[in-house]
Amino acid sequence: MAKGSIGSVLANSVFYTFGNMLLKVFSFFLIPLYTAYLQPDQYGILNLASGFTAVVSCIITMGFQYAVIRFYADLKNDLSKVARMFGTIICSIGGGGIVFLCGLFLFRNYWCSCIFKGIDFYPVIFLAILISFVTSLYSVYQDALKGMQQARKSVLLTYVFFFMILVGNILTVVVLNMGAVGILYATLFVNVIMVGIMFVDLIKHELFVFCIDRKILKDLLKYSLPIVPHSVSYNISSFVTRIIINSKMSVSTLGIFSLASQFGGVADIALSSVQSAFQPWMFNRLNDFYHDTNDAGVALTDIARMSYLLMWVYGLIYIIIGSFAQEAVLLMASESYLSSWLYVPIMVFSIALKSPLYFYNNFLYYNKSKTKFIFITTVIGSVINIFITFWLVPIYGILGSIVADIIAIFVRLFIVIPVVYSDSKSVYSFVKFIVLSIVPMIFMAVAIIPSYSNVESFSWSNILYKILVIFVYIGCVSLVYKEQMKRYMIAFFSHK
């Protein structure tokens, strides 16, 4: 086993997960601020604008956020090519983004009323359009840092971003009383600053050339364009869910859903944070398997062992989030939002089922000829999600949208696995992945049983009971992975 490699992925996983989770903890302290100064309808408007920004940003980036990680693994030994690749990506996003946003502005009368029911174009939608452009540039830079495995810099910049947003939000919401619009202004201003930092950093390290290299662009687009519908459709599915809740129920219900999603989203942050470190490492190990005969024997074993251990770690995080959502909401949110915690454990369950999909999708991202299947699986899953959401939300409300997510995840899993079976069969066991997803959910279900008898009351006995369940889970994992965890801890602490 390559100690350095294991130490690297563990160290970067800790940086990304701890950094992003701590950031989320800090952001939770803003919830009393938001729920005190923003009514559920204002919170719903902000969430709708965020969903729109996510969709438009995915279109503007053209899938380059995935290509930059994959192609850096191939070009990392030639920094001049890396600089031309970064330059090509940034210039292409900048030029294409301006054209696309001009189109949105010119044809605003045709789409605004359908998406933003009862919301004026100025200033909310106009600000969301501008935010989409600058965030697309900065998000690709963050993915470039992850591809280069520069976890410390990535997390540090994330903290800089957060604390600037924090100051901006307090100034606009509390001092100036601008509501949701103030948060959008602050978000735009801070993102512009971060794009400036991006250019300074890349130019300083000679990693940016102002150019559009046609050959590199052709290779990048050949890889990334089939992925664009994947990222777009996934975000569209989430955005349409918000539109449906807003139109079929109310913007206040959307505010409740938004707060529940913020807590449930912590589980998704943990999943994506570890993947930020794991995916580049996995690509390097797969390169070793296919190109380095001396290391081929242990490469796949390393990937399998690390993946299964990460599933147990994910499980611990899921149990903690799902179990203590009640206490978090009771402590942080105002009375009108208290019911939101009821949906968090179910959201966590849907994310737990999605965990194996991340590992299998890595084979699609690695194999440049199979990226089109990422698009196919996500589009099919998203279409099913939208139809089921449209059908269930009027009947079951927020719960209907979560059930739609779960069904869509199963659909995507059963499409992806046959596609990557030839590549993954010597690495992963699907049955083992499902077991590793379900077992933590059983522990979480056991932990939250008493909470449903005291939905809106704080209980120390409930907290102690939940802590006991968590320690039982940790004990079970330690017994199963005792020797392996010992080896990984040695590799982690020996990593420089």
Where do the H-state alpha helices sit in 107-150?
A: 108-115, 126-147
d(CA 139, CA 143): 6
How many CA atoms within 13 Å lie on the side-chain side of 409? 20
CB atoms near residue 212 (< 10 Å)? 15
Torsion of CA 261, 267, 269, 275, to 10 degrees: -140
Kindly give the confidence (pLDDT) of every residue in the chain, 496 residues in length, as a single tens digit, with 9 standing for 90 and above.
444 455 566 666 666 666 666 666 656 666 676 667 777 678 778 878 888 888 888 889 888 988 888 888 788 888 899 999 999 999 999 999 999 999 998 888 888 877 777 777 888 889 999 999 999 999 899 888 877 878 788 888 988 988 898 899 889 988 888 888 999 999 999 999 999 999 999 999 999 999 999 999 999 998 888 777 767 776 777 777 777 776 666 656 666 777 777 777 777 777 777 777 787 778 878 877 777 655 656 777 788 888 888 888 889 989 998 898 888 878 776 666 777 788 888 888 988 888 888 888 888 888 777 777 877 887 888 889 888 988 888 888 888 888 998 998 889 888 888 888 777 777 888 888 889 999 999 999 999 988 887 767 778 888 999 999 999 999 888 887 776 666 666 655 555 4
Q: pLDDT tens digit string along 355-372?
A: 888 888 888 888 777 777
Residue whose entry in the numeric block shows the structure tokens 């100051």: 167
Residue 149 region, left (φ>0) first, then alpha (ψ -120 to 50), else beta?
Answer: left
Question: Which residues does 240 contact at the CB level (< 8 Å), separation at least 6?
Answer: 386, 389
49 touches 184 (CB < 8 A): yes
d(CA 173, CA 259): 18
3-state secondary structure at position 414: helix
119 touches 45 (CB < 8 A): yes
| Residue 481, both tokens | 């992975």
